[in-house]
Chains A and B, each alone.
Chain A
Amino acid sequence: MRIVVCVKFVPDIQSDRQLGPDGRVVRDGGDGTLNELDENAVEAALVLAEEHDGEVVVLTVGPDDAVDAVRKGLQMGADEAVHVLDDAVAGSDAIGTATVLAAAVRRIGAEAPVDLVVTGMAGLDGLTSLLPTALAEQLDLPALPLASALTVDADARTVTVSRRLDHATETLTADIPALVSVTDGINEPRYPNFKGIMAARKKPVTTLSLAELGVDPATVGAAGARTRVLEAAPRPPREDRVLLTDTGDAGTRLAAWLVERKLV
């Protein structure tokens, strides 16, 4: 079983994240990291590979530093890595990123067939959750998003997931090849150990350009983006804030404040 995991390099959410004048997330400053939610995707793929004697390829699209994201995947135990690096990718929206990832997955699949594409449920920078389904649509694969549980039947060549939505729970199944996105509730990602970190140094990272993928630069990046941020500003601080320590009447004061503010 061959699994491709798509991972993203994002600003650490514990850091002071900013938008630049171009409305894009500021990605320098050394606070970048593997998107936390993608660790669950790597973990899910590694578990499946262990169960079904498979191999895991981690794939990312992003600037130079983004190689750190796939390196982390290799340290966790993935077998190889692909980094799509091209200035023309900058400014892509979710659909543009999906276009590039789709081309890269096809390329990886040309070497040996890909059975499963796994992604995290969302990138913690944009949080749109659009990418997994957009990628499946572009690859013409069945999509099983938001898996909180995931099983593969290697003989029947099917994948089954459970997922929770706002008003319902669902079980979905499809033949593989297919695409699955996973939630942070599906597993507990492993920490890379010393052996994994050492082994990762010897694992191959292939760098690919848009030209090598046969992607027209005009269709992706800022040039191909269908949405553009016009303005971005830090949210103004909240005003008239009240902070008090309870000395016996804080509940009563809260009630009065809510009434006064017409919040009840």
Chain B
Amino acid sequence: MTATPVLVLLDHAPDGTLRPPVRELLTLARTLAGDAGVHGVWAGSEDPAAALDVLAAQGVSTVHRLVTDADLHLSAVLADGLETVAAATGAELLLLVSSFENKEAAARLAVRTGAGVVTDADGLAVEDGRVIAHKTVLAGTWTTRCKVVAPRAVVTVKANSVVAEDAPAGASPQVVDLPVEVRATSTRVRLVERTELAASGRPDLGSAHVVVVGGRGTEGDFSAVEELADVLGGAVGATRVATDEGWIGHDAQIGQTGVTIAPRLYVGAGVSGAVHHRGGMQASGTIVAVNADPDAPIFEIADFGIVGDLFTVLPQASAELRRLQG
């Protein structure tokens, strides 16, 4: 248990609603926080009103809203803000959703405050006042337990690592404005343009519980992949080949240089399972593969592998699931 509040960065969409993994992080933070409780950090000019119900149900007592004229999308400015909250609350543990942006701020904070950083954790505990993180490494082939030796810890947590649950007793979160002292050097990078990606209407790839992935085997026809994703209420992902071919947006690329996912269910169709791709999905709970080639490496890690043509197997599975679901 920590003696000071556990801080959670409240990633949110432009409409002010929380990104789904934040609920998981709040649930996790509660298990680590003692009486000092869980505090949220709101970075951005959006109104937190739309997030308050979730925060209340999660038992969050305080939300620190970072107030500055500088753009909090700049990692150095965000780090200034996080440093300010840590100083104001005395917090020694900060949790962030694993994303490239958050890792940038985490790196800065570690350099500035002497904190130990763990990225892509999938479980956390506090033992003798020190944070112990669990994480999967080397393309999902090894599991590790890692101790933060420093008294302060910054941990980025992978989506789907924890099952989100509401707190036994809710709270009425207090929103406190916290003016951020922005360092002169933090605004040397100028954000010329930022375009939010349009929401697809499907769950967010990085945090979806189910992801159906299409590879080169789709030959550009993603309809069977999309249909199965929709029946399963999942997101659609792709291999790099599929994004490079322009069959689907680059933001759908799963792998070590794309999005890292660990959904409950991964379905790969026409995906060979190259090591670069496996690095981003091998930690998935259950792996299903449909591939015409019995020697495809993805079968080595599949829980359910079908040697077959995705254009017949996927539609049949979708139809059957629809029938079973009535």
Contact = CB atoms under 8 A, between A and B. Distances in A.
A251 B320 contact: yes
A164 B99 CA distance: 12
6 contacts: A168-B196, A168-B197, A178-B189, A226-B148, A228-B146, A235-B140
B215 to A, nearest CB: 17
* A interface, over-half SS: mixed
A231 interface: yes
Interface stretch (A55-63, A73-81, A135-143, A209-217): A135-143
A175 B104 CA distance: 19
A199 interface: no
Given A142-B188, A238-B301, A134 B107 contact: yes
Contacts, number: 256
Contacts of B104: 129, 133, 143, 145
A45 B117 CA distance: 29
Interface residues of A, number: 82
B320 A226 contact: no
Contact of A143 (B73, B76, B265, B308): B76
Interface of A: 13-14, 17-19, 23, 25, 37, 93-95, 98, 121-122, 124-134, 137-138, 140, 142-146, 160, 164-175, 178, 183-185, 225-235, 238, 240-246, 249-252, 254-259, 261, 263-264
A98 B306 contact: no
Given A170-B194, A245-B306, 19 more contacts: A17-B138, A127-B120, A133-B104, A142-B188, A175-B188, A185-B250, A226-B117, A229-B146, A231-B145, A238-B301, A241-B303, A242-B305, A245-B294, A246-B307, A246-B308, A251-B315, A251-B318, A255-B321, A256-B324
Interface stretch (B58-66, B172-180, B251-259): B251-259
Given A172-B191, A227-B148, A235-B136, A127 B112 contact: no
B111 interface: yes
Contact of A95 (B110, B143, B317): B110
B119 interface: yes
Contacts of A144: 189
B91 interface: no
B131 to A, nearest CB: 9
A56 to B, nearest CB: 23
Nearest to A146: B100
Scoring B132, B259, B306, B314 by chain A CB atoms within 10 A of each residue's CB, the highest score goes to B306
A228 B145 CA distance: 9
Nearest to B308: A246
B142 A235 contact: yes
Contacts of A131: 107
Nearest to B197: A167
Most B Cβ at <10 Å: residue of A132, A230, A249, A256 = A230
Contacts of B120: 127-128
A230 B132 contact: yes
A120 B136 CA distance: 22
A169 B117 contact: no
A145 B104 CA distance: 8
Nearest to A227: B116
Contacts of B314: 251
A199 to B, nearest CB: 30
